[in-house]
Amino acid sequence: MIRRIFVATLLCMGIWNVYSNPVIIVADSLGRDTIQLDKRLPEVLVTAAESKKATSASVINTQAMQHLQPSGFGDLLELLPGGSSTTPNMNKANLIQIREAGSSSEVMSSLGVKFVIDGMALDNDANLQSIPGQDNDRDFVSKGVDMRSISTDNIESVEIVRGIASVVHGDLTSGLVNVIRKSNNSPFQARVKVDEYGKIFSAGKGFLLRDALVLNTDVSYVDSRTDPRNVVENYKRLSFSGRFNGDKKGDNFNLKWNLNMDYTGSFDNEKTDPEVTTAKEDRYKSTYNKASLSGGMKWTFRNAGPYTQLDVKGALSQSFDRLEQTKLVSLSRPTPVSTSSTTGVADGEYLPSQYVATMVVDGKPLLANLNLINRFDLNIGQSSSKILAGGEWAYKKNHGEGRVFDFTRPMSTSSRVRPRSYSEIPASSTMSFFVEENLSLPIGDHKLEVMAGVRSMSLMNLDSRFKMNGKVYLDPRFNLQYKFPDVNIAGHDVKFDISAGLGWQSKAPTLSMIYPDMMYEDIIQLNYYHNNPDYRKVNMQTYEWDNTNYDLEPARNLKKEIRAGASFNGYNISVTYFRENMNNGFRNTGMWHSFAYKNYDYSGIDSESITSAPQLEDMTFTQDTLMKVYNRWDNESRTDKEGVEFSMSTRRFELIKTRFTVTGAWFRTKVSNAGMQYYQPSSTVINGKPLNVVGIYNWENGSEKQSFNTNFMFDTYLRRLGLIFSTSLQCTWFSSSRPLWNDGTPVAYVDVAGNVHSFADADMSDPSMQALVQSYSQGYFDSQVKPFIGNLNLKATKEIGKSVRIALFVNSLVTVCPDYYIGSTLIRRSSAPYFGMELNIKI
């Protein structure tokens, strides 16, 4: 009885990976080898499948991805309920949003989604690649994962958990993206995709090195442009991956192990066109080079009683990030600059009228992660109970040189930034423990599945001033599924189940939120610009302060959902209702500061007769105070989500070889603030003086957005012709947005001395205080509703022989977008098709 393990791959017409699993070959008593395989050809699925498990999730397999022809990972999101196709925008970070209406400006939208690739987190929390004060869509500090950096070509399947994730996964609020990459012996595959915005090349192969050892390798390269006509602004990505997967069989255990080596390089470039520009020096270049090593060992024990599995994973990644910007700064008036970077008074100097400013941001995030899971099986009576318990340690540190530049030659004269070394920022270290029970309890013909777990999170290596120091944050999570007995109708079983979930998911603040830059304010006390350069004098008061918010805590999202699912003879239907509330998301909100300074009066100096620069002692001064609102990170963002997601699919009708899928969702997302707002009407100057008060408002600063969409998809699979043809009609029935109401009146105000006064009606008549009152026109708070917009997308895949497949797609081939009125204004909408082709070769 020699048993051997092979990896058998069964191909359908050489293309579709129908079956590729280790199969056990058993020699029977006559010495013949028998193989047991499920011989039915599986269904070709080009849409996302709704998970049958207790939590709502969408599963996207290789076929769906091949048919979708993605340019980047973000393209897969159109398969989620509520998703729709988008035209690539590769000149900015592609950020994810799950279960949200409209686009969001809150960092939590994307920061709260966790990406896991082959069991290891793709973490961006130690990324500090930004230039403060510059609003740049390309950077994604504290915004989670840039989906441009994820290649789709080596993915076996993706599960996007929209509901409540298992406690194995932490450090997330809204969702989980779980990517499983190919790990089997597979033929050489290459792909070339070309569309209006770029080109993709990829190639990969799985080698069977020896028994039970497979090496998967792949390489992919993306070169994309913002606009086909724009050659000076582009994004490139190059990635390599090598993955070993092996099995070892012992007397009492099976060991599965893997070792992954990855490299991803992302290159964002912008130059100014040398032929048209007036600023030849200006350029922006941002590169990310990341090398990572990860591995895991999973022992499955056979004779260890209830202890069934030990699963250990580890990962180490080092990224070399560099952002370089060069800018020719030309000033239109003499501008003073501070030469000091500590609190105090010092003479400043005038900037040259023209200079080249350079900045290098050098970041070297090092991430380490260890993950250990123990699994136990306990079967009592008919119930089966699978328990998992384990822990996870995550370490994040940035060793980079940081922002290196000359602050006396700033990129922008309004910038108050000083150089900062990133290696001085303490490491972030997070320890989590989790335990989860997965109970399956038959009740007669009924069946109850319970998934109940709790996960802890503690941030270590924190200064004792932090509120998070020494605290343990717990996330209990529950998912239940009740399966009703099958009912036989017309020879087919009807399966019906109801699921419900309730759980908390928490996300720790990122490195840049916990350890923000020091803040600086340089106030000009004297700006004496004499016609004679020798007699000029600038005196400045510099303030430096710590902008750390020691009260920062992890953002915590409460998720609730209920789902009903049914299937019958290949027909599936599923409807989910969910609510999510997060009252303490991260937001960069205003906090006031006031600074005393001297305002020197040089009117007593006779500019005609002086023979040297004036001395401060020769001038009188008035004591003055500057009051300003500065942003800092806090837990002020509040997001309430509600919605219904539905998906329905038919079986493939044999006569027309077509399957019909409907997915869609209604979402309502309300984003506002949790606390009081500090606001200073910056543009108000009363009698030449700024308004030195800050209003405190108890208003909801945010919006409520809604959208309702449905995608209808017909996919036809003509097996004999090797042709898959899909037509997708993506309808957004409406989308709306309304600002949240507020009366615009402050409840109180703070004066320069820091005293809080309540805002009385009498203050309304004071013209300087009036500026604190925001007034809104009638109709300002009305909901803006965009009516129906529908897009028709076509995709076709044709297999030529056994090894060549060509595919093409046209998105928005036809767009129906009726004109509509808002008030008396006619709004016309338009849309341009997005199309491309790809060639796949499999040898």
Residues that bind another protein (CB under 8 A): 278-279, 328, 330-336, 353-354, 413-416, 521-524, 527-531, 533, 602-603, 605, 607-608, 626, 682-691, 767, 774-780, 782, 784, 821-827
CB of 521 to another protein, least distance (A): 6
Smallest separation (angstroms) from another protein to the CB of 477:
42
Between residues 432 and 525, which has the closer beta carbon with respect to another protein? 525
Chain position carrying tokens 């007036």:
278
Q: Nearer to another protein by C-beta: 476 or 767?
A: 767
Contact 538/349 with Cβ under 8 angstroms? yes
Q: Shortest Cβ distance from residue 710 to another protein (Å)?
A: 26
Instruction: Identify which of 461, 647, 478, 685 has the alpha carbon closest to the alpha carbon of residue 564.
Output: 647
Contact present, 294 and 270 (Cβ < 8 Å) = no
Q: Counting Cβ atoms within 10 Å, is residue 402 exposed (0-12), middle (13-18) or buried (19+)?
A: buried
**282 or 324, CB closer to another protein?**
282
Whichever of 263 and 820 has its CB closer to another protein, that residue is 820
For the CB of residue 323, give the shortest distance to another protein in the complex, in Å: 23
Nearer Cβ to another protein (157/770): 770
Min CB(523)–another protein separation in Å:
5
B/e letters for 511-523, b = 16+ CB within 10 Å, e = fewer, are: bbbbbbbebbbbb
Question: What are the φ/ψ torsions at residue 512 (nearest 5 degrees)?
Answer: -75, -20
Rounded to the nearest 10 degrees, how much is the dihedral formed by the CA atoms of 585, 590, 591, 594? 170
What is the closest distance, in whole angstroms, from the C-beta atom of residue 529 to another protein in the complex?
A: 5
Cβ atoms of 673 and 698 within 8 Å: the answer is: no
The rounded distance, in Å, linking the Cα atoms of 474 and 831 is 47
Residue 760: Cβ within 10 Å count: 10
Nearest to 366 by CA among 296, 316, 299, 315: 316
Closest CB 688 distance from another protein, rounded Å: 4
**Residue 648: beta bridge partners?**
573, 662
Handedness of CA 327, 328, 331, 332 (dihedral sign): negative
- Residue 513 Cβ vs another protein, minimum distance, rounded to whole Å: 25
Both tokens of 156, joined, read: 């076996």
Encoding tokens for residue 699? 């208003």
Question: Which CB sits closer to another protein, 169 or 327?
Answer: 327
Q: How far is the CB of 789 from another protein (least distance, A)?
A: 16
When the beta carbons of 467 and 689 are compared against another protein, the nearer one is 689
Map residue 444 onto helix, strand or coil: coil
Q: Which is nearer to another protein, 236 or 409 (CB)?
A: 409
- Kindly list the distances between the CA atom of residue 65 and the CA atoms of 61, 71, 176, 465, in Å, as whole numbers in the listed order: 6, 10, 18, 48
Q: Smaller CB distance to another protein: residue 557 or 680?
A: 680
- For residue 277, give every residue at least 6 positions away whose Cβ sits within 8 Å of its Cβ, in sequence order, or none: none
Distance (Å) of CA 696 to CA 421, 587, 679, 745, 755: 35, 17, 7, 9, 12
Q: Name which of 60 and 772 has its Cβ closer to another protein.
A: 772
Q: What is the CA radius of gyration of the chain?
A: 31
The CB-of-703 to another protein minimum distance in angstroms stands at: 13
In the complex with another protein, which residue's Cβ is closer, 342 or 413?
413
Q: How far is the CB of 407 from another protein (least distance, A)?
A: 12
